[in-house]
């Protein structure tokens, strides 16, 4: 624990500053509990609007960070955490809340949760081991996040338009499962590549 605190203190203050981009990321984290409450209360219209706002912050924070040079270590850490917190909150709620149409299988949420915990633990370990290691999302990781968000939007659309496309539901869930496992494999490969390159440097 002391080593982790020492590493965090050694990060330049400029990399820990609170930017507009980071505040949007924090807003996404703050929206997640409210979204869960509205879903539990079956306020699906409000839930949908909250989710759209959260998804919009995900688009804006990345754009602002790149466009206005607001990329920081703090933002790089919080952004994926905010995404996963939002998505896992929605998925977990849809497991236990009785919905008018589709629900999410518990096994799917468990797989997504295990994947995210493994990636988070692996990233934290690499940051502690190698000071120069930078957090960079992969194209597959970004694609997985986008598809998960689109899937939730599609679930809301099914409710509002009273659709029951069962085959499409299971096809999309299978696609998500494939992307989650593929992105986990990609991050594992990247992690071992970093260790190997540092070891033989």
CATH number, residue 63: 1.20.120
pLDDT of the residue at 173: 93
Determine which of 10-24, 57-71, 102-116, 180-194 has the lowest per-residue pLDDT on average. Answer: 10-24
Domain count, the chain: 1
> Which percentage of the chain shows pLDDT scores above 70?
83
Does 193 score more than 90 pLDDT? no
Q: Work out the angle between the directed axes of helices 139-160 and 73-96 (0-180°, nearest 10).
A: 40
**Predicted TM-score of the model (pTM):** 0.82
Residue holding tokens 């998500």? Answer: 176
Distances from the Cα of 166 to the Cαs of 102, 155, 193, in angstroms? 9, 11, 41
Query: How much is the average pLDDT of 140-168?
Result: 89
Range of the structural domain that residue 130 is part of:
2-199
Torsion of CA 39, 45, 46, 48, to 10 degrees: 80
Alpha-carbon radius of gyration of the chain: 18
């Amino acid at each position: 624990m002391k080593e982790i605190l020492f590493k965090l203190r050694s990060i330049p203050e400029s990399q820990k500053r609170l930017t507009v981009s980071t505040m949007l990321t924090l807003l996404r984290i703050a929206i997640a509990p409210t979204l869960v409450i509205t879903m539990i209360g079956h306020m699906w219209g409000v839930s949908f609007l909250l989710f759209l706002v959260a998804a919009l912050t995900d688009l804006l924070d990345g754009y602002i960070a790149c466009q206005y040079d607001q990329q920081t270590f703090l933002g790089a850490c919080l952004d994926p955490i905010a995404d996963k917190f939002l998505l896992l909150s929605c998925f977990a709620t849809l497991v236990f809340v009785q919905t008018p149409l589709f629900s999410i299988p518990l096994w799917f949420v468990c797989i997504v949760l295990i994947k995210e915990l493994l990636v988070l633990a692996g990233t934290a370990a690499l940051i502690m081991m190698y000071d120069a290691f930078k957090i960079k999302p992969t194209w597959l990781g970004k694609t997985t996040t986008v598809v998960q968000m689109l899937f939730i939007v599609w679930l809301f659309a099914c409710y509002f338009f009273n659709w029951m496309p069962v085959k499409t539901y299971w096809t999309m869930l299978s696609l998500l499962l494939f992307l989650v496992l593929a992105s986990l494999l990609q991050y594992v490969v990247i992690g071992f590549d970093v260790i190997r390159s540092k070891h033989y440097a």
